[in-house]
Amino acid sequence: MPAESQGGFFARLKDRLMKPQGGLASGFARLFGARRIDAEILEELETRLLQADVGVAVTTELLEGLRKRIARHQLDDIEALRQALREDITALLQPVAKPLVIDRGHKPYTILVVGVNGSGKTTSIGKLATRYTRDGLKVMLAAGDTFRAAAVEQIGIWADRSGAELIAQQSGADPAAVAFDALNAARSRGVDVLIADTAGRLQAQAHLMEELRKVRRVLGKADATAPHEVLLVLDANQGQNALAQAKQFHDAVGVTGLVLTKLDGTAKGGIVLAIAKQLGLPIRFIGIGEGADDFGEFDAAAFAAALIDGE
Using an 8 Å Cβ cutoff, are 303 and 286 in contact? yes
Per-residue pLDDT tens over the stretch 33-46? 656 788 888 998 99
| CA distances (Å), origin 62, targets 46, 56, 175 | 9, 10, 44
Domain segments of the chain as ranges:
3-96, 109-297
Using an 8 Å Cβ cutoff, are 29 and 267 in contact? no
pLDDT at 94 over 50: yes
Element (H, E) at 165: strand 165-167
Mean pLDDT of 74-80: 87
pLDDT value for 62: 96
Using an 8 Å Cβ cutoff, are 250 and 239 in contact? no
Going by pLDDT thresholds of 50, 70 and 90, the confidence category of residue 240 is confident
Mean pLDDT of 228-256: 91
Q: Which CATH architecture has domain 3-96?
A: Up-down Bundle (1.20)
Q: Would the CA dihedral through 21, 24, 25, 27 be positive or negative?
A: positive
More confident residue, 236 or 115: 115
3.40.50.1000, 3.40.50.300, 1.10.1530.10, 3.90.79.10: CATH of 109-297: 3.40.50.300
Going by pLDDT thresholds of 50, 70 and 90, the confidence category of residue 84 is very high
* Residue 212: how many other CB atoms lie within 10 Å: 23
Using an 8 Å Cβ cutoff, are 144 and 199 in contact? yes
In percent, the amount of the chain with pLDDT more than 90 equals 54
Alpha-carbon distance of 227 to 36, in angstroms, equals: 53
Per-residue pLDDT tens over the stretch 293-302? 788 999 999 8
Strand, coil or helix: what is 259?
strand
Mean pLDDT of 128-136: 95
Give the torsion through C-alpha atoms of 113, 117, 123, 129, to 10 deg: 20
pLDDT at 246 over 80: yes
| Same fold across 3-96 and 109-297 | no
Burial class from Cβ neighbours inside 10 Å (0-12, 13-18, 19+) for residue 73 reads exposed
Going by pLDDT thresholds of 50, 70 and 90, the confidence category of residue 289 is confident
Going by pLDDT thresholds of 50, 70 and 90, the confidence category of residue 268 is low
